[in-house]
Amino acid sequence: MKKLKKVICLTLAGLMLVGSGDVAVAQEKSNDISIQNNLTDSYEMLLNYAKRSGIDLDIEMSTFVKEYEDSSYTNVNDYVKAYYKVLDNKPLSLSNNTGILSNAIGAVSKWYYNTGNSLPQAANYSKYNLLNTVQKGDIIFEANGGLGITAHVAIVEGIFYSEAQQQYYIRIIESNLTGVVRSVLDDSRVDDSGVTVLRVSSANSTQKNNAVNFCIRQLGKNYSLDFAKDSSENEKDWYCSELVWAGYYNQGINIETTGFYNEPGITPRDIYNSSAVTKVTFSK
């Protein structure tokens, strides 16, 4: 514990030296030893909570501290509550947690996950007007699709034709527990996951294509829920919303919300609430 608190202090000190514009804020938020201790204790409690809940949380301490320094939160308690809210929307009382990880693994076993370049069975498009509405580069927000984190997002790779099934289908790219993969969007997944289709308002066709191509180049990489904001093409792992955000961020478009209390890292709800996206109606 003492060693960790020492590292917290060093991390905070480093953040205070980043730039003159940041110094006053960093000093105001972290010059109290009680805040340093609170950050340390909160970080450890968060990791323990995730472990007991079956959530593979891999956030680094430095990320946890920097997120606090960069946030609009004025106290650690409110900041930490945002993490618990994001982690599968579980209440702060830990007594009723029951196997989030097993539920998540069961979820990604459905036929429309991890399909690669093929369509393993017929996709259903009888209920919604998805094929005539969804476009390459659209973002698929799933209110019920969280895999350890509240909600889920993916990016539309395009509409493809399956010779095996003799039909067109929507293929998406996402980062789930098995890594960055190709999957399918159809009516069944819409109903199962509570889908909203989001479109990046200012993106032109070139930016959309490049955002998708960025995500294609990440296929096969690992999943890691670390709440980081990595955007490098050489990043070794991704969580769902970080991947989609990075695709557009590399095209000069930030799809993270600029709201006063945006959530830690880049969450699906941060993208859903962003002024950079609009909701697309797909009902018949």
Task: Show the domains of the chain with their CATH numbers.
Answer: 2-86 (no CATH), 104-280 (3.90.1720.10)
Taking only the tens place, the pLDDT of each residue in 234-274 is 999 999 999 999 999 999 999 999 876 688 889 999 999 99
Count of CB atoms situated within 10 Å of the CB of 192? 15
Query: Residue 94: what pLDDT?
Result: 33
Taking only the tens place, the pLDDT of each residue in 81-101 is 888 877 764 433 333 444 444
Q: Tokens standing for 83?
A: 């993490």
pLDDT (average), residues 210-222: 98
Q: What is the DSSP string of 15-70?
A: HHTS-HHHHHHHHHHH-SHHHHHHHHHHHHHHHHHHHHTT--B---HHHHHHHHHH
Q: Tokens standing for 228?
A: 């980081």
Taking only the tens place, the pLDDT of each residue in 107-137 is 567 999 999 999 999 999 999 999 999 999 9
